[in-house]
Amino acid sequence: MAQNDLDCKLNMLLIGPQIGMLLFSALEHNIPALLAEGPKTASQLSELTSTVSDKLERALLQLVSVGLFSYNPNTNIFSNSPLSERFLEKNLANLYKFSLSPWKFETLTCIPGCLSSNFTAPELKFHQSMDESMSLIPGTLEIYHEGMAGVTNLNSREVALAIDLRSSHKIIDIGGGDGTLLIELSKIYPNLEFTLFEQPQIRDIALKKINQAGKQINFIAGSCFESIPSGFDTYIIKHVLYSYPDDKVMEFLGKCRQSLNVGNRLVIIELMLEIGQSTLLERYLDVHLMILNNGKIRSRGQLESLLKANHFRVLNFSSAGSDYVLESVAI
């Protein structure tokens, strides 16, 4: 590799955190949407965003240097680039706003402590769990749930189509966020009974989304580590297991098995990671989960072993976009 290429890579590592915070600020001030209305000067943008014109211009010029936004030096006009136009997609913008939020950057400062202990970054930084600590910085909890909804929305239709519910009657989504997946499933199977099981603080967010979609979906408030509702024939878990270490996953699956009757189905939707086949983004997500909650992205074999240890038999395995669907039955 040429010396110039090495220097370029080193420079990107150096400026990466600053670029991240500048992008977060641009998304917070809705710059991509403002430029979608038409090209603007920094002065015009500062008036619309209540920012300091000179500082905003210099910040945007750095983002221009990495392909975020375009700039005409002859007219001093900023416009969207193909890259910044991507952030006009609400789902993607919400995902990046959480990943680049001040709360996230606060936790990143504790990575050295995470690597030398079993504590998570939120525990080291805030002396609280991930969920508890997000409430300390105003707006973070909302950004987080919007970001997670964005992740679900990116492939919710693909995942819904990959889940076969033709033999089901009563379905419950454990930790299903704002209900996005159940809304998609109810479009495909309008005659089935769907229930969302989530933490109490998610109730208003979820019911608003469900009502806007015009769907009849029940809501049960609770914690999956306290008790899992019984009386359903199909249980769905999407993007939950990877948030926790193996001992917590064993506890969670054990509580699931206590609630399921023999023959009831458990459908797990997760990212999966195979050694030697992972992408840059998958490795990022794996470390992201590790520092926030001691979680990890598992391989298919690791997930199947956890299921078998809790008296589930694997029935089917399939892919759905970037996710994988692992269907099992209680035995």
| 144 occurs within a structural domain | no
Q: Is residue 208 located within the same domain as residue 319?
A: yes
pLDDT (mean) for 265-269? 97
Where among 87, 113, 131 does a domain terminate?
87
When mean pLDDT is compared over 6-15, 107-116, 128-137, the highest value belongs to 107-116
Q: Which residues are within 8 A (CB) of 176 and not within 5 positions of it... i.e. 6 or more apart?
A: 182, 196, 197, 198, 206, 236, 238
- Asked if residue 319 belongs to a domain, the reply is yes
190 and 48 in one domain? no
Average pLDDT, the chain: 92
Residues 188 and 77 in one domain: no
- Domain shared by 162 and 52, yes or no: no
- Write out the two tokens for 17: 């955190």
Contacts of 154 (CB under 8 A, 6+ apart): 91, 92, 95, 321, 322
Quick check: 298 and 272 in contact, CB under 8 A? Answer: yes
Rounded to whole angstroms, the Cα distance separating 328 from 241 reads 15
Mean pLDDT comparison of 189-198, 206-215, 276-285, highest-scoring range: 189-198
pLDDT range class, residue 12, cuts 50, 70, 90: confident
Domain span at residue 244 reads 157-330
Q: What is the CATH number of the domain that holds 264?
A: 3.40.50.150
Per-residue model confidence as pLDDT tens digits over 85-122: 999 988 788 889 989 998 999 999 999 999 999 999 99
Domain count, the chain: 2
Above 70 in pLDDT, residue 276? no
Write out the two tokens for 149.
Answer: 């909804």
Q: What percent of the chain has pLDDT over 90?
A: 70
What are 63-85's pLDDT values in tens digits? 999 999 999 999 999 999 999 99
Of the residues 64, 87, 110, the one at which a domain ends: 87
- Indicate the pLDDT class of residue 149, thresholds 50, 70 and 90: confident
Residue 275 has pLDDT above 70, yes or no: no
Domain check: are 73 and 208 in the same one? no
pLDDT at 141 over 80: no
- Assigned domain for 272 exists: yes
- Rounded distance between C-alpha atoms, residue 274 and residue 164, angstroms: 25
Residues 189 and 312 in one domain: yes
* Mean predicted confidence (pLDDT) in 53-66: 97
